[in-house]
Structures are given as structure tokens and as C-alpha cells.
Amino acid sequence: MAIQSKILDPLCVSCQEFQHPWTNKCVNATAGILLSATPYCLRVYTIVYAFSLLMRHRVPTLEDLKRTIQGIIQSTAFLVTNAYTFILYNCLIRNLLGRYYFGTVAFVPSFLSSLTAILVERPARRPLLTLYVANVATEALWRMAESRNWVHSISHGQTYIFGASISILLYLYRMGTTNDSIFNILRIFVGREEAGPIAKPEPIRDEQPAPSRRRPTVRFSTIADWVNVYSNLIRGKHDSCRHKTSCCSYAVFGGLRPFIGGVGLQVALKLVMNFKTIAQGRMLWKKQIFNQSTLQLGIFMGSFSFLYKSVSCLLRHCFNGDKATFAIPAGLIASFTFKLYPDNTVALYVMWKALQILCGIGQENGIVPHIPNFMLYLYAFFTAVLFHAGIMEAQSLRPNYYKFLQAISGERLNKFNLSAFDVFGLNTQGQTDEMLKSLKILDKTSLPSFSFAS
């Protein structure tokens, strides 16, 4: 492609022509984004922290409220810093180099601005933010590679990613050696009974009564062996099963609860998203709520739980014991239900979460080298990818994230003049125009708020 031959070519375009045509002063452009982005960022984090406070299911104390307000202010400062320092570094680099290069249009200034911003945010929130941007940026990188014909998507690819990643997480969950918030989510699907560590079987003593001895391993050499396993699954449970009911009722009722929860969550989300329509009395209940899409999440969650528990119990009966490795085949089989609710965000989140935990285990065991502040650089890299995609290759970015970039830019992103960058062979202006058209963001004429026009 043209980009491969022109990636190092300089481009004599000023930062004013590119990103702040309404003012000839870079400091005014920087201050304008700082002031216009602050209300939006404050509103976003007020909602996030308020929701987090409500999820505690208790009346907040004065100390809780104090920490919440401090968190809102600090997180708002972080996001605003990420926005205005992008313009700051962009103008600074352009003035130092005297021209733009492919990497300095968005990637390099965004890397520096993101690295500056993440230092403002609380350390406890940094891994969560890194995981989020890694999720979105992975999809953007894949689309960029696809547009260059470097890779090709395969059917149900997200299901394979989800299956491999969730099997690793379920294995670690059964090992019980790692603590992470993801395991609280897994507990909803597979229950506390499947949590590790697995207790070692007690040694068999000759003086023990016969009923307390462990059953011999089933070899499935006769029909009677198959009948015996089937009977135990339906009517009873294996000694190594931690659940109190029979394996059959454990699997069935274990799948029923996530199904109801998934349907309830889907209904709640649709009600929230259509709140304005409901208030106006124009809600089409049959079309919006009472349809098949409302059941998809619940069917996936319920089927996943049912299959995972069924296969786990079956393996315990077949091998006359319990092992953490049973989580791998059980997770792989259960993951086929992801086809009922395929979602790239979920698949990539699970993948990155598995990689994060494996990396931590590798560092603890000396397998993976420890790089100081690696999480900070990772956040800066992935955020730089997203800013690059938003400016240079808009069609590679999720529409919702493009809207987010438009908001934190103080409604300025759609006013950037990108036609000069078409020389890099990406049809930058054309991609941006298509994205703006699809999102119905078409106002390019009026000045943005706090423009400090000169």
C-alpha cells in the first residue's frame, strides 16, 4: 500500500491548519479543550462513581462520600489531562520538527499525553483502564491489519478466543491460587462449589467401612458401567462433588439462575436506554422488549452454566475424583454457547484478563521479566493506537469510541482538517467523513466552545 512507502515522508502542514484553524495560538487551542472537556468528563465520572456507590447496597458514610468526591475530581483531572495535553504535545512536536510525519500526527503526541494523564489517575484504577483501552485498541489494530490485507477474519473467531481464554480462567479459578475481580463474575456463572483449591482425597484405610471407600475407576467396558454413571448423575452425586443436591438438579438449577439473571439484565438495559421513549408514552413494547433478542443473553448465560456444571460432574464420575484440569474441557464445551450471544468486547475482555493474570503468575515465578511501570506504558501505547485510529483511520475504530473522542475533544474532532494526510494513502478525510455521516455529526462550520478565535 501507499502508506508503506510514504510512512517516513514529511508533510509541511501547520498544527493550526490541522487541529485549530479558529486560532493561530497553540496555547489558546490547548486552553480551549481543557475548559470545554471538563464538564463532560466531570459528568461521566460523577455517573460512574455514583453507580459504584449504589452497587455497595448500603447507606454511604461521610467517609464514603468524601472518597467518592475525591475520586470524581481525580478521575476527571485524569481524563481532561489526556484530552488537552494531546493538543499540547501535538503542537509542541510539530513546532520542534517543523513538519508532520506519519507517527507524529496522532500516535506520538497521544502516547506522551496518555503517559502524562495516567500518572494523575489513582494507581488502583490504572489496571482497569489499561484493560479497557487494550480491549478497544485490539479490535482497532485488527481492522487496520485487515484493511491492509495482512490478516483475514474467520467465522466465529470471537467464540474461539472466548473459549480458549475462559477455559484458562476457569482452570485458575479451580486452582484457587489467584485472587482477581474476574473470579467474582465467574462465580455467578459456575457457582462457589467449583471454586478452588480442590481438597485432596483422604487415604483409604482398611478399617474403614465399605460404603466410605472410594469407588473404583469406571472403565466403560460394559453397558453396566454406562448405566451406573447415568444413574449417579440423575439420582445422586459423586463423593468429590461439593454441591449438596444431585448432579442433575445441580446442573439444571445452576443454569436456570443465570438465565433469569441474563434476561432481567437485558430487560433492565433496554428500559434504561429507552427511558425517554417510555416517558413520552411512545414505547413499542412488543418490538423493543418482548422479542428474541431479549432472551439471547439469558440463554447464553444459562446454557454456559448448565454445560459447564454437567461436564464437570460427568468427568468427576468418570474419573472417580476431582481435578482442576477438568475445567479446561468443561470450559471449552460450554464456550460453544457463546455463538448464541457473540460479542467482541466480551471475548477480548476475557482474553486480556487471562493474559494479565498469566503474566502476573509468570512474574511471581520468575518466568516473565518484571518491567517497572509496564502497565503505564501499555496504557499509553493502546490509547495512542485509539487516537491514531480516531484521526487517521476512523473506519477502524468503534463508532461509540469515536463519539467518546469527539466529546472529550470539546466537540472539536469533527472540525479537524485531515485532507492533507490523504497523502499517506489511507483516505483519511474520506474515512472520517463516512464516520461522521454514520454518527450524524456533520456540523463543521460553527466555532467550538472556548475557541478563543483570533
DSSP alpha helices (H): ranges in 148-246?
A: 157-175, 182-190, 223-235
Return the minimum-mean-pLDDT range out of 65-74, 208-217, 307-316, 399-408: 208-217
> Residue 374: what residue type?
F
Please state the φ and ψ torsions of residue 11, each to the nearest 5 degrees.
Answer: -135, 115
The model's pTM is 0.84
* Rounded Cα distance, 80 and 305, in Å: 41
Set of cell numbers at residue 269: 438495559
Q: What is the dihedral of CA 262, 267, 270, 274, to 10 degrees?
A: -160
- Distant-in-sequence contacts of 398-405, Cβ < 8 A, 24+ apart: 398/136, 398/139, 398/140, 399/435, 399/438, 399/439, 401/136, 402/435, 402/439, 403/439, 403/441
pLDDT bin (cut points 50, 70, 90) of residue 434 is very high
pLDDT at 233: 58
pLDDT at 223: 66
Cell reading at 194? 467449583
18-22, 124-128, 218-222, 423-427: lowest mean pLDDT where?
A: 218-222
Q: Which residues pair with 100 in a beta bridge?
A: 11
Per-residue confidence (pLDDT) for residue 404, from 0 to 100: 93
**Domain map of the chain by residue range?**
2-153+371-438, 161-199+216-341
Q: At what angle do helices 223-235 and 292-319 cross, to 10 degrees?
A: 130
Q: Which residue has the cell 464514603?
A: 64
Grid cell locating 308: 459447564
